[in-house]
Structure 1
């Protein structure tokens, strides 16, 4: 039985490009940085960027990470779009919240999630 998430590993092809994306574009704090492994703090969750081995190249994606924006979801979509992020589709509305899907610099699937407002 799992009691929580310790670390999310995200495969990347270009570490410096991915570090810029997660650090500058998403605004996460770097814990430690290296050529093959870089860690970010995502509000207590460690996101580890793991360099792909040359035998495993490909932009097929990997883990899906869902982020909770610090502000209104639509405001964050605008901010990220202005930073060059391309969203896969429009924000989707569900009874359990709203989702905005996009890809990181390495082709991995990411999302913004906003829970519904309490009535």
Structure 2
């Protein structure tokens, strides 16, 4: 059985650029760096930043990581926008919560998620 998420691996083109984004823009802490591999910590989640291989999986697409905003979703969105993050759409509201989608420095989809208030 699955207990939870141990790691999420994200394919990246440039590990240095990705580390800069995850550490300095999103505020994650760097856990490890080894060549074309790095790990950052976002709360209790380890995210592996894995250099894309020339062939095979990871040429297009990749995982979507959903982050819980520290403040409200709108406040966090404004903060990220002030750091140069571009959101291509407004915050979408659903009966299961609110979502704001953006991309990291490598073109991977990321989201902010806020559960419903009641």
Range into which the TM-score falls when normalised by the shorter chain: over 0.9
TM-score (norm 1): 0.92
Provide the rounded CA distance (Å) in 2 between the counterparts of 1:58 and 1:10. 9
Corresponding residue number in structure 2 for 1:39: 39
Work out whether 1:14 is the aligned partner of 2:9: no
Deviation at 1:59, TM superposition (A): 6.6
Provide the rounded CA distance (Å) in 1 between the counterparts of 2:104 and 2:80. 11
SS in 1 for 2:22: helix
Corresponding residue number in structure 2 for 1:72: 72
Deviation at 1:61, TM superposition (A): 2.8
Deviation readout 1:61-102 (Å, 9 max, x if unpaired): 300000001011101111111111111211000111100001
RMSD (Å) for aligned C-alpha atoms: 1.6
Q: Which runs of 4+ in 1 moved over 2 A?
A: 54-61
Provide the rounded CA distance (Å) in 2 between the counterparts of 1:115 and 1:67. 11
Provide the rounded CA distance (Å) in 2 between the counterparts of 1:87 and 1:34. 31
Gaps of 5+ in 1: none
TM-score (norm 2): 0.93
Instruction: Within 5 Å, give how 1:1-119 maps onto structure 2.
Output: 1-55=1-55, 60-118=60-118
Gaps of 5+ in 2: none
Whether the aligned pair in 1 keeps the contact of 2:52 and 2:59 (CA below 8 Å) is no
